[in-house]
Amino acid sequence: MKAMDDVSCSGSFCTVTCCIQNWGVGEPQLFGDSHALEKSISTYDIPSDFRLNYVWDLPVGKGKKLFNVQRGWINQMIGNWKTSGNLEERSGLPFTVWAGTSAAFPDDVAHLRPNVVPGVNPIIPNWEQGCNNAVTQTCPYINTAYFTPPKTLTPGDATRVMDAIRMPHIQNFNMAFLKEFPIHERIKLAFRAELYAALNHPQFSTNQNYFTLYTGLNYVGTTTPTPTANNIVSSFANISNTMSGGRRSIQLGLKLYF
């Protein structure tokens, strides 16, 4: 799927001046209050979402295809097992990136955007390998070379919400095993084991879906300043090393039916 609009917001993004046409109180609407510059994918755009749910009565035990044994105690061990589960594989949410500069406009021009560099990968390849640093607790994720500051008196060519930069995809798999022990014609005991996030797959995310890229850029005497390490917001390019979900938890239960 693909969702597009010119107004959507998400989380804390909704509480700030989000859009280029909001030029502040002193400067006239230089773009005629046009929303053309705001058109992009939606902040909630999820292009791919695969979900699978299943229930399987395992073909094992007395009267089944596998291990069709007649001895009672063996069948009590291996027969009457069922399993169920649900799987989700989903694209991550997109980012919004602000330039963090007024680009020499004489008024507060809300949130200008950076320019993007064609042909540069916006995501650092193999970024997961940097997530085991116990000191920094962060993973370098976004390639800052993908961006350059906007030129003087220009709003930048990055879209309001960026399809090219998304949080890592979400993977979650829950499963359960159920075993019934017949005791009497009207009495049975059911054992159930439930595994949430059964694969123990970490789900990395940032603490917000919008970022300011630069700070303290100087446009005096230049059309486009060259940012240094001091001008790039250090937290922008990193993703949290703390798992957001993905921790396996196991729940066991017994239920007597009578």
> Looking at the structure, do residues 31 and 109 belong to the same domain, yes or no?
yes
By residue range, what is the domain housing residue 132?
A: 1-48+94-167+205-241
Residue 255 within a domain: no
User: Is 0.75 topped by the overall pTM?
Assistant: yes
In a domain, 254, yes or no: no
Looking at the structure, tell me whether residues 162 and 226 fall in a common domain.
yes
Residue 99 in domain: yes
Q: Are residues 18 and 125 in the same domain?
A: yes
Answer yes or no: do 117 and 184 share one domain: no
- pLDDT of 137 reads 66
Whether 108 is covered by a domain: the verdict is yes
Quick one: pLDDT at residue 74? 74
Looking at residue 204, what is its pLDDT?
A: 82
Residue 176 sits in the same domain as residue 120: no
Q: Are residues 160 and 213 in the same domain?
A: yes
DSSP 97-115: EE--S-TT-SS-------E
In a domain, 85, yes or no: yes
d(CA 115, CA 155): 9
Whether 109 and 173 map to the same domain: the answer is no
106 occurs within a structural domain: yes
Distance CA 102, CA 207 (A): 25
pLDDT of residue 194: 95
Residues 112 and 218 in one domain: yes
Same domain (yes/no): 194, 224: no
Total domain count, the chain: 2
Q: 83 and 56, same structural domain?
A: yes
Q: Give Cα 196 to chain centroid, integer Å.
A: 19
Verify that 36 and 160 share a domain, yes or no: yes
Residues 161 and 56 in one domain: no
Consecutive 10-residue averages of pLDDT for the chain (258 residues): 84 56 49 73 93 93 74 74 94 90 76 91 87 74 93 89 90 92 87 92 79 90 92 82 70 94
157 inside domain: yes
Q: Which helix (H) or strand (E) holds 72?
A: helix 72-78
Q: Rounded distance, CA 99 to CA 155, Å? A: 9
Residue 77 token pair: 């061990």
In a domain, 247, yes or no: no
Contact predicate 63/130, CB 8 Å = no
Give CA separation, 255 vs 21, 74, 149, 180, 258, in Å: 61, 21, 63, 9, 10
Cβ neighbour number for residue 61 with a 10 Å cutoff:
19
